[in-house]
Amino acid sequence: MDCIFCKIIAGEIPSTKVYEDERVLAFRDIAPMAPTHILVIPKEHIPSFAYINEENAPLVAHILAVAAKIAREEGLEEGGYRIVSNCGDDAGQTVKHLHFHILGGRKLTLEMA
d(CA 15, CA 48): 21
Beta carbon nearer to ligand 5GP, 56 or 86: 86
- Binding of Zn ion at residue 95 (CB under 5 A)? no
> Can residue 93 be called a binding residue for ligand 5GP (CB under 6 A)?
yes
Q: Residue 83: which of 103, 99, 111, 61 has the closest Cα?
A: 103
**Closest residue by Cα to residue 30 from 45, 15, 48:** 15
43 binds, among ligand 5GP, Zn ion, none (CB under 5 to 8 A by kind): none
Interface with ligand 5GP includes 86 (CB under 6 A)? yes
Binding residues with Zn ion: total (CB under 5 A): 5
